[in-house]
Amino acid sequence: MKTAKTKETAASRWISYRPEIKVLDCTIRDGGLMNNHHFDDGVVKAVYQACVAAGIDYMELGYKASRKAVVPGEHGAWKYCQEEDLRRVVGDNKTSLKLAVMADAERTDYHEDLLPKNQSVIDMVRVATYINQIPTALDMVKDAHDKGYETTVNLMAASTVPERELDEGLELLAGSEAQAIYVVDSFGALYSEQVHYLIKKYRHFCRPSGKEVGMHAHNNLQLAYANTIEAIILGANMLDATMAGLGRGAGNCQMELLIGFLHNPKYNLRPVLQCIQDHIEPMRKELMWGFDLPYMLTGLLNQHPRAAIKFKAAEGQGDIVKFYDAITEEE
């Protein structure tokens, strides 16, 4: 009787899942900001294999950055995601997992470096843009769409954009070929009521053209997971997460928490845990991502975490109170 009740409870949990939700793993792309994209192929392959086994929908392998001013050795292969590097790890990717890259507006030679889809193992191009770069972002989206890719737009630093500019930007993006527009909490500064407001606003602009809304959260205030749940409740269907939260600075919404919350039977937690145990956590001491006081302070002040990253890189890290005084003097 006890066993039957347990099975019934598990089944009832699955009834509530929302099948249109898609999960994107950006461990290697966002985590690459902590090591200049110098991931060993074995780590990238382990994350790839875990995503396949876990039933995750998309994996973002890195950036499609300009190679015109490359300094040899400064960045690893995942800064540029050239086709030979991608295929060295994923082959022809004969799996259900779709592969993505991120292209920053004004930092990508997209006309030349982005191959037609039928020549690439990439499935999706995610254009990252600040509000003032939207004209470039629109051209990038069109270029990728015309080459046969799925496309999204990550509108960065949403917490800093004046409302009128945000409305104008969203109106332009809503008319683009992008399939989804992401709320991006670049500085990890948003609280639930702000996420609530932004998701509703983005959906208002996206709904008429059938676009989805996405959520990309950072964990400076330990709210990345909570804010992602808030976004889900308000109708966001494209969700970013990373294994063990590995990402720039304070990191991202943790994949293991997210797929545990979603209750969708297509997702399997065990491969994610295995990858975290064997490959992600061993890098923590060197890469030093995750919540701590310096990242908390930049999040509270709605600042880019570059000052906190520099502070943490200094030997002994220094005096946290002096760091607070220094960054508040800049306000």
Confidence band, pLDDT 50/70/90 cuts, at residue 53: very high
Do both 260 and 297 map to the same domain?
no
Do both 158 and 258 map to the same domain?
yes
Do both 296 and 255 map to the same domain?
no
Confidence band, pLDDT 50/70/90 cuts, at residue 3: very low
| CATH label of the domain that carries residue 151 | 3.20.20.70
Structural domain containing residue 325? 292-329
pLDDT at 69: 83
Confidence band, pLDDT 50/70/90 cuts, at residue 316: low
Do both 43 and 118 map to the same domain?
yes
Do both 267 and 314 map to the same domain?
no
Gap between the Cα atoms of 171 and 298, Å rounded: 30
Domain annotation covers residue 6: no
Domain annotation covers residue 179: yes
7 pLDDT above the threshold of 80: no
pLDDT at 5: 45
Do both 316 and 251 map to the same domain?
no
Gap between the Cα atoms of 218 and 265, Å rounded: 26
pLDDT tens digits, one per residue of 171-224: 999 999 999 999 999 999 999 999 999 999 999 999 999 999 999 999 999 999
pLDDT tens digits, one per residue of 101-118: 999 999 999 999 999 999
Q: Hey, which residues does 101 pair with through a beta bridge?
A: 62, 125
Do both 194 and 222 map to the same domain?
yes
Do both 183 and 315 map to the same domain?
no
Do both 179 and 45 map to the same domain?
yes
The answer to whether 213 and 298 have CB atoms below 8 angstroms apart is no
> Torsion-angle region of residue 11: left (phi > 0), alpha (psi -120 to 50) or beta?
alpha
Do both 159 and 300 map to the same domain?
no
pLDDT at 313: 84
Confidence band, pLDDT 50/70/90 cuts, at residue 330: low
Angle between helices 293-300 and 320-329 (to 10 degrees): 20
Do both 119 and 138 map to the same domain?
yes
Across the chain, mean pLDDT equals: 94
Least Cα distance to 53 among 95, 22, 11 occurs for 95
Domain count, the chain: 2
Domain annotation covers residue 259: yes
DSSP code, position 9: H
Q: Hey, which residues does 182 pair with through a beta bridge?
A: 154, 214
pLDDT tens digits, one per residue of 232-265: 999 999 999 999 999 999 999 999 999 999 999 9
320 pLDDT above the threshold of 60: yes
